[in-house]
């Protein structure tokens, strides 16, 4: 297993609870592939928005989410039980808007040119 993702759906919300990639395989497009897949599934399931928490120290993941039109909307202080690190709350709203859809399509095209087919 190189990576995995988990997402749950409640009413009109998709909540990404985890995206993880084997440390030796990071920076190879796997996490981005997982995020694209989650976004596509959220759209197929008619979710209105997508939420997640990410460690405040995980700037690489935050940059990926920002690239895909997630906005920082808050902080959960001391959220992570292992070290009491804060979580940054991020949300992608209006996932059916033309700007979100255009950005998603553009980024999927860029991804495909760099890494190959999206599954």
The CATH number of whichever domain residue 105 belongs to comes to: 3.40.630.30
Q: Report angle CA 100, 104, 109 to the nearest 5 degrees.
A: 150
Please pick, among 13, 32, 44, 65, the residue that the annotation labels catalytic: 65
pTM here is 0.94
Please pick, among 53, 68, 72, 80, the residue that the annotation labels catalytic: 53
The pLDDT assigned to 48 comes to 96
If one counts the domains in the chain, the total is 1
The pLDDT assigned to 20 comes to 97
**pLDDT average per 10 residues of sequence, the chain (119 residues):** 96 97 95 98 97 98 98 97 97 97 98 89
Residue-wise pLDDT tens digits, 16-45: 999 999 999 999 999 999 999 999 999 999
CB-CB contact of 27 with 21 (8 Å): no
State the residue range of the domain holding 83: 3-115
> Is 65 a known active-site residue?
yes
């Amino acid at each position: 297993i190189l990576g995995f993702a988990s997402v749950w759906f409640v009413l009109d919300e998709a909540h990404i609870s985890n995206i993880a990639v084997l440390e030796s395989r990071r920076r190879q497009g796997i996490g981005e592939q997982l995020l694209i897949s989650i976004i596509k599934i959220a759209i197929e399931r008619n979710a209105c928005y997508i939420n997640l928490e990410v460690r405040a120290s995980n700037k690489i993941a935050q940059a990926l989410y920002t690239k895909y039109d997630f906005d920082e909307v808050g902080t959960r202080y001391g959220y992570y039980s292992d070290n009491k690190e804060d979580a940054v709350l991020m949300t992608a709203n209006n996932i059916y808007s033309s700007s979100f859809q255009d950005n998603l399509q553009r980024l999927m095209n860029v991804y495909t040119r760099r890494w190959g087919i999206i599954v």
